[in-house]
C-alpha cells in the first residue's frame, strides 16, 4: 500500500470495509474487535493513527515499535483472536506522520475475539455472541463461500495418511522447536488446523475438503475430486505436445515436492549474492509459485491446474474464485486468501509467506532472474501467472539444468552419507558442521539438518525438547537403545 492510495481510502471515510483508530500512544482496546469483525464479514482496511472524522493525527514515533509489536503478538495469539491471524501491519508516512495500515482479508472461518463473536455493518462492529440466529447465519455464509470447508461426514481418520502427519510434525518443529503441533496427535492437529468442522445449517460434522487435500490417501482424493490434478509440462521443442510432463494427482504436501523437483530438473539456478550470502533465485521464485498454485485455487472448478515451462517464460493457470478481473499490480494489490485454512497449514510448515509478502518477494526476485522483466498476475475465472525467463537462462536450461540438478543432488547425497556415517554416535550441531567444514549455521539448519530430520534419516536424542542446548542427532542406522 502506497501513501497516495491510503490517502484516498482515508478521504472516502469509514464504512463497511474501512475503520480508523487514533492510537496515538497505545492501541485502542477495541482494535481487535474490529479485526475480528472484518475477518467475519468482507475484510477491509484498518488504519491506526487516524481519527473517526478522517483527520490524520499520527502515532508517536517513540511508541510505534511497541504498538506494532503488541499488535503482531496479539494477532498471532489464539487467546486474543481465535483462529489467529497471520498478517503484519505496514508503517506508512502521511503528511510527515506515522500511521499503521492493516489489510484484513475475508476469512473462511468464524473468528472470536476474547471469546466473543463480532460482525460488521455500516455502523461499526457488532457483538453477536448471544444472537443465535446471527451466529448461525455467519457460519452458514462461511461454509457456502469457501469450498475448502465443505464437510465429508463419511471420511474417517484411516482415510488420511498417518505418515504425512508425522512429516508435518517434523516440519513445524524445524520452523519452531516449540510448535504445539509437534506434540499433538493426528486428531488434535486436524482440530487445531480447523480441518474438522461442523455445518451449522445441516448439522453435519466431519473432516473437510481441506483435510482430504492435505492429508488424504490418493484414492480418497480422486474419489471426492476425480477432476483434480496439477499438470507440470515442459514445452520448449515439441510445442504441440510436450518434452516432459508430470501428471500430479496426490496430496498437496507431496504435490509441492513434485513441482519443485520439476523446476529443479528444467530451470537453471544462476549465481546470486544477497548480503554476502548466496541465495537461490530459482527456489525463492518458484517456491512461491508452487505454493500459490496449490493454495489459491478453487478445487470444485473442473479446470486442471497447469505449470508450463516454455522457451522464455513459465506460465501457471488454475481455477479461481475471482475478486476482480484483469492485470494485478503486485506493489499495491489487495490479497484475498482463496483457501485460508490450507494457506495456514502451508505457512506453519514453512512453505508459504505472510499473505501478500510472498508475492512481493516473487516480484523482486523475478526482476533479477529475468534481467529486469516483471511477473504478470492476471485475475479471472482462471488465474494466470507469467514468470519471464531470460534468453540466456533459456539457452542454458536444456543443456545445463539437468546436469546442474544431478550435480546438486549428488553433492547432497554425499553430504547425507557423510552425516549418516558420522552420526552413528550422537553428535551436536557444531560437531556435524565441523565435520562437513561448514560455517553458516542458518544454511546448515535450513537446507541440511531440517530435510534430514523431516525424512527420518536423523533423529533427536531429546525429541520432546528440540531446542535443548544438550540436543544431539543420531542416524537411523544407530539403534536408539544404544544411544
Confidence band for 255, pLDDT divided at 50, 70 and 90: very high
Per DSSP (E only), the strands in 228-281 are 230-234, 244-248, 273-274, 277-278
Task: Compute how many other C-beta atoms are within 10 angstroms of the C-beta atom of residue 400.
Answer: 14
Q: Do the strands 473-475 and 458-460 form a parallel or antiparallel pair, or are they unpaired?
A: antiparallel
CA atoms of 36 and 102, how far apart (whole Å): 12
Query: Poorest-confidence range of 145-159, 196-210, 211-225, 323-337?
Result: 323-337
Confidence band for 399, pLDDT divided at 50, 70 and 90: very low
Tell me the C-alpha to C-alpha distance, in Å, between residue 254 and each of 257, 354, 446: 5, 21, 19
Kindly state the greatest CA–CA separation across the chain.
71
Residues of the chain above pLDDT 70, percent: 88
CA atoms of 334 and 467, how far apart (whole Å): 37
Asked if pLDDT for residue 439 goes beyond 50, the answer is yes
- The upper half-sphere exposure of residue 209, i.e. CA atoms within 13 Å in the direction of its Cβ, equals 20
Q: Which residue has the higher pLDDT, 88 or 411?
A: 88
Tell me the C-alpha to C-alpha distance, in Å, between residue 12 and each of 7, 16, 94, 162: 9, 12, 16, 52
Q: What is the mean pLDDT of the chain?
A: 84
CA atoms of 274 and 276, how far apart (whole Å): 5
Q: What are phi and psi of 273, to 5 degrees?
A: -105, 140
Rounded to two decimals, the pTM is: 0.58
Q: What is the 3-state secondary structure (H, E, C) of 110-130?
A: CCEECCECEEEECCEEEECCC
Asked if pLDDT for residue 267 goes beyond 70, the answer is yes
Query: Poorest-confidence range of 156-165, 205-214, 286-295, 392-401?
Result: 392-401
Confidence band for 165, pLDDT divided at 50, 70 and 90: very high
Q: What is the mean pLDDT of residues 175-197?
A: 92
Q: Give kind and range of the element (H or E) at residue 433.
A: helix 429-436
CA atoms of 132 and 110, how far apart (whole Å): 14
Asked if pLDDT for residue 397 goes beyond 70, the answer is no
Confidence band for 299, pLDDT divided at 50, 70 and 90: confident
Superfamily of domain 1-142: Schlafen, AAA domain (3.30.950.30)
Q: What pLDDT score does 396 carry? A: 45
Q: Which sequence spans correspond to the domains of the chain?
A: 1-142, 147-224, 230-388, 394-474
Structural fold of domain 230-388: Heat Shock Protein 90 (3.30.565)
For the record, the C-alpha cell of 208 comes out as: 473437510
**Structure confidence by residue, pLDDT tens digits, 338-370:** 788 898 899 899 888 765 566 777 878 888 888
Q: Which residue has the higher pLDDT, 455 or 1?
A: 455
Task: Compute how many other C-beta atoms are within 10 angstroms of the C-beta atom of residue 325.
Answer: 10
CA atoms of 229 and 241, how far apart (whole Å): 18
CA atoms of 226 and 233, how far apart (whole Å): 20
Amino acid at each position: 500500500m502506497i501513501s497516495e492510495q491510503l490517502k484516498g481510502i482515508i478521504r472516502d471515510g469509514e464504512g463497511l470495509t474501512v475503520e480508523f483508530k487514533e492510537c496515538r500512544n497505545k492501541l485502542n482496546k477495541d482494535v481487535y474487535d474490529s479485526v475480528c469483525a472484518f475477518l467475519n464479514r468482507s475484510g477491509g482496511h484498518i488504519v491506526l493513527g487516524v481519527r473517526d472524522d478522517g483527520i490524520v493525527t499520527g502515532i508517536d514515533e517513540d511508541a510505534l515499535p511497541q504498538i506494532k509489536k503488541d499488535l503482531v503478538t496479539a494477532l498471532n495469539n489464539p487467546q486474543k483472536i481465535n483462529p489467529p491471524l497471520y498478517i503484519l501491519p505496514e508503517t506508512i508516512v502521511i503528511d510527515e506522520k506515522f500511521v499503521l495500515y492493516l489489510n484484513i482479508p475475508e476469512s473462511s472461518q468464524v473468528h472470536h475475539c476474547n471469546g466473543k463473536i463480532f460482525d460488521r455493518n455500516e455502523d461499526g462492529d457488532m457483538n453477536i455472541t448471544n444472537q443465535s440466529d446471527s451466529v448461525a447465519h455467519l457460519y452458514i455464509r462461511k461454509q457456502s463461500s469457501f469450498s475448502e470447508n465443505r464437510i465429508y461426514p463419511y471420511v474417517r481418520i484411516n482415510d488420511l495418511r498417518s505418515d504425512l502427519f508425522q512429516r508435518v510434525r517434523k516440519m513445524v518443529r524445524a520452523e519452531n522447536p516449540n510448535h504445539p503441533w509437534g506434540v499433538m496427535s493426528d486428531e488434535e492437529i486436524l482440530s487445531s488446523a480447523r480441518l474438522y468442522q461442523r455445518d451449522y445449517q445441516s448439522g453435519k460434522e466431519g473432516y473437510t475438503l481441506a483435510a482430504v487435500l492435505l492429508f488424504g490417501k490418493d484414492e480418497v482424493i480422486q474419489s471426492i475430486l476425480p477432476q483434480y490434478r496439477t499438470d507440470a509440462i515442459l514445452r520448449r521443442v515439441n510445442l504441440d505436445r510436450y518434452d516432459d510432463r508430470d501428471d500430479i494427482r496426490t496430496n498437496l504436501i507431496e504435490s509441492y515436492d513434485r513441482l519443485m523437483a520439476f523446476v529443479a530438473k528444467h530451470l537453471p539456478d544462476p549465481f546470486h549474492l544477497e548480503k554476502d550470502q548466496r541465495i537461490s533465485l530459482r527456489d525463492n521464485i518458484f517456491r512461491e509459485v508452487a505454493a500459490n498454485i496449490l493454495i489459491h485455487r478453487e478445487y470444485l472448478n473442473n479446470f486442471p491446474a497447469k505449470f508450463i515451462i516454455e522457451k522464455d517464460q513459465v506460465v501457471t493457470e488454475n481455477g479461481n474464485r475471482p475478486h476482480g478481473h484483469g492485470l494485478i499490480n503486485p506493489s499495491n494489490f489487495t490479497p484475498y486468501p482463496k483457501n485460508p485454512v490450507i494457506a495456514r497449514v502451508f505457512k506453519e510448515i514453512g512453505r508459504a509467506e505472510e499473505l501478500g509478502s510472498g508475492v512481493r518477494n516473487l516480484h523482486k526476485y523475478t526482476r533479477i532472474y529475468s534481467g529486469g522483466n516483471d511477473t504478470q498476475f492476471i485475475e479471472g475465472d482462471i488465474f494466470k501467472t507469467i514468470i519471464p525467463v531470460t534468453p540466456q537462462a533459456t539457452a542454458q536450461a536444456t543443456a545445463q539444468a539437468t546436469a546442474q540438478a544431478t550435480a546438486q543432488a549428488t553433492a547432497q547425497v554425499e553430504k547425507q552419507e557423510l552425516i549418516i556415517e558420522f552420526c552413528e554416535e550422537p553428535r551436536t550441531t557444531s560437531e556435524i558442521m565441523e565435520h562437513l567444514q561448514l560455517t553458516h549455521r542458518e544454511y546448515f539448519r535450513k537446507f541440511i539438518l531440517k530435510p534430514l530430520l523431516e525424512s527420518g534419516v536423523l533423529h533427536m536424542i531429546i525429541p520432546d525438547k528440540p531446542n535443548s542446548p544438550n540436543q544431539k542427532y543420531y542416524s537411523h542406522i544407530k539403534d536408539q537403545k544404544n544411544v
